[in-house]
Amino acid sequence: MFMLSNVKWSTIEDLRTKATFNVWHPKVEQASEFSLAQVWITSGSYENNTLNSIEAGWQVYPGLYMDSQPRLFLFWTTDAYTSPACYNLRCPGFVQTSRTVLVEGAITPASAIGGLQTELTIHIWKDPGRGPWWLGVGFSNGTNLSAIGYWPVEIFSNLTDHADDVQWGGEIVDNRALGRHTTTEMGSGYRPGSDRAAYVRDIQVAFRPREFHPVSQLIVGATNSSYYSVEKYSNGSFSYGGPHRGAALITPKLPLFPIHCKSPYQ
């Protein structure tokens, strides 16, 4: 089930969002499937293939990376995912400026049940006017955030001066290769309701530099809560995940847990 807020930010000169995810090592059954946690910033529509999306987070994708390690990844689309996938630095678009953070780099060790939590903080912001969309990344409880590169505004048709929506959450792909739902896990593989589940915390938005605020209304939802579920803790945090089997077919590149916010200035 999808719940949309469709917040329009066309009058905002400087949009920023950041959130912290704990990083896990979910089981991915088929090499062509993946499990991830990320931020989505979007504008446009699926109806006429004009959706533009900027996405970044961590991902386990054996078919792309040739292993099962959680890795820092980024993605974007300008036509509602109708063109071939444009991951990381594998096609023209994203411009990396950092020499210290490796896009596609493995994030190790992953979080441990009942133990140390490895965290990834994602910070995405828009320069005023027709400036680029920047990506900042931090590890170890959100410290040492640094810009690693940017998406030039010229590659987009709708994300040129504003975004319509921002989301945080998890996603899997199910190819039904064995005639049933995949056993691919989301997050830690555990449902919310215990400290073993994956979480997203410190969700914030800002419309001016250094003026971050918790979102005023965090709306959570899942495509099939019988198997994968989400639990809101506050307007700035939630947990999510699910066990090995179940749920209906999930279309690639649709967020399983779309988490939306409304402007705190509305």
Using the 8-state DSSP alphabet, how is residue 154 labeled?
Answer: G
Phi, psi torsion values for 155, nearest 5 degrees: -80, -10
Q: Is 13 a catalytic residue?
A: no
DSSP per residue, 211-261: --EE-S--B---S-TTTSEEEEEETTEEEEEB-SS------TTS-SS--B-
Catalytic residue among 29, 33, 171, 185: 171
Catalytic residue among 29, 55, 119, 185: 55
* Contacts (Cβ under 8 Å, ≥6 apart) of 99: none
Tokens of 251: 């279309």
Closest CA to 57 of 256, 265, 263: 256
Tokens of 90: 């594998």
Q: Is 119 a catalytic residue?
A: no
Which positions are annotated as active-site residues?
55, 171
